[in-house]
Amino acid sequence: MELMEVIRKRRSIRRYKPDPISEEDINYVLEAARLAPSWANTQCWHFIVVTDEDIKREIAQAGMPWSAGAPVIIVACADPAKPGAKGDIPNYLVDIGIVMEHLILAATERGLATCWVGGFNEAPVKEALGVPENIRVVAMTPIAYPDQEPAARSRKALGEIVSYNRYQSP
């Protein structure tokens, strides 16, 4: 699939088939993540591939109850101290944004459903996964075969989000 086709095809999908995901597919999406760029190449991330039913249920309850039926949940953790901050921009959040999109687009290419989840209660997720205190859990996504085909969600037109040479409101 061409890159633009993958980008156009991706959706946040929140209903899944219970069919298992092959180890090859899991490794494919993780490899796409591994190759992502990061602040000074610090690669502040760590991924937890959750397949255990009890642990999946626990982390699903922390903010994505609809996800428990997915065969795999990937949890993206980060060490905020590694890239540090330039000015007041926490670079670990930027790095996790990039790495998650690599992973999600690779999953889309393989016909797998994902949904970026950032709205969850971090404490119980850390507890369920044994994440050390200094490490943040930034994002999660189920990885599953889709059981729905949502239409594309609307996006602003380029004219509303782009200006040349100087900032200009639409």
Residues of the shown chain interacting with ligand FMN in the complex, contacts defined by CB under 6 A: 11-12, 63, 115-119, 153
Nearer to ligand FMN, 66 or 163 (CB): 66
Distance of closest approach, residue 93 Cβ to ligand FMN, in angstroms: 9
Edge to edge, the sheet with strand 45-50 lists: 45-50, 72-78, 136-143
Query: With the C-alpha atoms ordered 23, 103, 144, 7, is the resulting torsion angle positive or negative?
Result: negative
Nearer to ligand FMN, 79 or 97 (CB): 97
Q: Which is nearer to ligand FMN, 27 or 122 (CB)?
A: 122
Torsion sign over Cα 48, 54, 56, 62 = negative
- Least distance between ligand FMN and beta carbon 65 (Å): 10
Q: Which of 147, 167 has the CB closer to ligand FMN?
A: 147
Q: How far apart are the C-alpha atoms of 140 and 104, rounded to whole Å?
A: 11
Rounded to the nearest whole angstrom, what is the least distance from the CB of residue 22 to ligand FMN in the complex?
24
- How many whole angstroms separate alpha carbon 104 and alpha carbon 100? 6
What phi, psi does 127 have (nearest 5°)? -60, -45
Q: How far is the CB of 86 from ligand FMN (least distance, A)?
A: 20
